[in-house]
Amino acid sequence: MLLLLPMFSLAESPTYRGRLAPSPTGYLHLGHARTFWIAQERAAVAGGALILRSDDLDRTRCRAEFSAAMVEDLRWLGLRWSEGPDVGGPHAPYTQSERMPHYRAAFEKLRALGAIYTCHCSRQDVLRALGAPHAGDDEPVYPGTCRPAGGANDEWRMTNDEVNWRFRVPDGETISFTDGALGSHAEIVGRDFGDFLVWRKDGLPSYQLACVVDDAAMGITEVVRGADLLTSTCRQLLLYRTLELVAPVFYHCPLMTDVDGVRLAKRDAATSLRALRAAGATPDGLRARF
């Protein structure tokens, strides 16, 4: 019998597809650079492809100048991708604001399944109902103000588009997965996160929905991103399951902090790649700090 041996080493996977998914809401900083560098290395070790996607759905914060700077900074650092907004590819477009029909289709499926319901609460309403200031940037656990008693609600038949939509989570269930960097991770639904937004009243999908739709459509097999998104990964696993999409595996990089232990953020100009470069930093010098 003829035994066909694969032409690649065991570590290689010809189907590996990773992605860089920055949001052009500011200049990229050292933390992004490190996460993206790890993403590139993991794709290289697996002999796979790396794609660039521009997550530009936040209309109020995304700017064209940041998109251009993003590509320039990534290239300066030494990152290379084989598909992306600037080079095209089989899954184009690679810019989220040009992919609305994909998000609409997923939204319609969730609606048809009765998995989502309309919600009139603003973020302020949610925080007020919780009666406590919310620490951190993450979506607070929704107190259920608009959640219908059973199944989904039918209100959408009477409303126009200007309403938020939330995904009804299965309270009490444990969502667990094995992270490539951090090992096993588990969160309890309803305690660690609650019903989350999938569609906003401004007519745009939430990050959770857009991310799942695109990672699945683009055939991403491993998502490398910051550990601040661990809870989002649990939310997204629920969306993959409900939409019957194949979930990738995940690798969450520990977050970079400054000398005072504070997480790096886009608003801190000092650690932006631009500022570091202007101050004489080289790509090799920065990579040595990762």
Catalytic residue among 56, 223, 266, 272: 266
**Chain length of the chain:** 290
The contact mask relative to ligand GLU for 115-154 (x = CB under 6 A, - = no) is: ----------------------------------------
Determine the residue type at 244: E
Q: Six-digit token pair at 178?
A: 């094995």
By CB under 6 A, name the one of 16, 17, 23, 250 that touches ligand GLU: 23
Active-site annotation holds for 266: yes
DSSP readout, 192-236?
TB-SEEEE-TTS-B-HHHHHHHHHHHTT--EEEEEGGGHHHHHHH
223-252: contacts with ligand GLU (CB under 6 A): 225, 229
- Between CA 212 and CA 199 the distance in angstroms is 13
- Selected range binding ligand GLU among 4-12, 19-27, 126-134, 188-196, rule: CB under 6 A: 19-27
Contact letters (x/-) for ligand GLU, 180-219, by CB under 6 A? -------------------------------x--------
The residue ranges of DSSP E strands in 105-263, in sequence order, are 116-119, 164-167, 174-179, 183-188, 196-199, 222-226, 249-253
Q: How far apart are the first and last CA of the chain?
A: 49
Residue 22 lies near ligand GLU (rule: CB under 6 A): yes
CA atoms within 13 A on the CB side of 194: 12
Residue nearest to ligand GLU (CB): 55
Among positions 49, 55, 118, 168, the unique one binding ligand GLU when judged by CB under 6 A: 55
Minimum CB–partner distance for residue 100 and ligand GLU (Å) = 17
Binding site for ligand GLU (CB under 6 A): 21-23, 55, 211, 225, 229
